[in-house]
């Protein structure tokens, strides 16, 4: 068991544009500090993933038409330098996710959904067949854990006036399960009302905000230990 924990790789991605003020960063840092294996981190705000361009989609369609294709064979299908460049930007991101025992995503809510920095990573990551075994059709992420840490300035939980405005959690749940992540290996941790001190309309909700943050802190710490044992 010790060897398993030592080798369990955590891929840690933050997408918040805030620095020390970021609640999602604070929570992902707690998770990562409790992780007892190697950690590979990328700050998507400081080191953004380049947006996909036309050669990416052209190469992707060619691979899709061809059918099941091993990742090692994709470069040979590139028609020009532009397509090779797009694949060179894409393949490492795919490899990092495939190599991870657990993927940790720090996701603040921006304008009711995810930051553009995270969306750029998602768009590039989602290359046709990247997470399907070409010989077996197996979903290669079925055994990978995903922990999604959400920070939301207001309240978007069930029964709240803005429940229907939440295009953050439902989007990520749909995207990750469609990518092949097993629902039982997908964990969401939410800290709500994080801007209670700055938004007058949230005045009086400080106790709820403190309770939400305390619960999120406890959840990320517990998850870090629990998932390494899987």
Residue 56's alpha-carbon distances to 8, 42, 123, in angstroms, are 31, 22, 10
Question: In the chain, what are the domain boundaries?
Answer: 2-228
Per the annotation, binding residues are 16, 22-24, 109-112
d(CA 193, CA 102): 27
CA angle 111, 113, 118 (to 5 degrees): 115
Q: What crossing angle do the helices spanning 81-99 and 54-66 adopt, rounded to 10°?
A: 70
pLDDT (tens digit, 0 to 9) for every residue of the chain, 230 residues total? 334 444 799 999 999 999 888 999 999 999 999 999 999 999 999 999 999 999 999 999 999 999 999 999 999 999 999 999 999 999 999 999 999 999 999 999 999 999 999 999 999 999 999 999 998 889 999 999 999 999 999 999 999 999 999 999 999 999 999 999 999 999 999 999 999 988 898 898 899 999 999 999 999 999 999 998 77
What superfamily in CATH does domain 2-228 come from?
Flavodoxin domain (3.40.50.360)
Per the annotation, binding residues for FMN are 16, 22-24, 109-112
Q: List CB contacts of 125: < 8 A, sequence separation 6 or more.
A: 90, 93, 94, 97
The pTM for the full model equals 0.94
Nearest to residue 214, comparing CAs of 188, 195, 191?
A: 191
């Amino acid at each position: 068991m010790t060897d398993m924990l030592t080798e369990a790789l955590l891929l840690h991605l933050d997408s918040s544009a805030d620095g020390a003020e970021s609640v999602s960063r604070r929570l992902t840092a707690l998770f990562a500090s409790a992780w007892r294996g190697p950690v590979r981190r990328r700050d998507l705000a400081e080191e953004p993933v380049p947006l996909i361009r036309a050669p990416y989609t052209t190469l992707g369609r060619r691979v899709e038409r061809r059918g099941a294709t091993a990742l090692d064979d994709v470069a040979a299908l590139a028609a020009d330098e532009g397509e090779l460049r797009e694949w060179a930007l894409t393949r490492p991101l795919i490899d990092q996710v495939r190599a991870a025992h657990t993927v940790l995503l720090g996701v603040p809510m921006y304008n009711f959904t995810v930051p553009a920095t995270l969306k750029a990573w998602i768009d590039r990551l989602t290359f046709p067949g990247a997470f399907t075994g070409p010989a077996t059709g197996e979903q290669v992420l079925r055994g990978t854990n995903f922990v999604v840490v959400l920070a939301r300035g207001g309240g978007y939980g069930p029964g709240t006036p803005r429940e229907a405005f939440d295009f953050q959690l439902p989007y990520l749940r749909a995207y990750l399960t469609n990518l092949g992540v097993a629902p039982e290996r997908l964990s969401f941790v939410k800290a709500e009302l994080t801007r209670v001190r700055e938004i007058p309309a949230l005045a009086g909700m400080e106790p709820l905000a403190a309770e939400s943050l305390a619960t999120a802190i406890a959840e990320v710490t517990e998850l870090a230990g629990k998932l390494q044992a899987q």
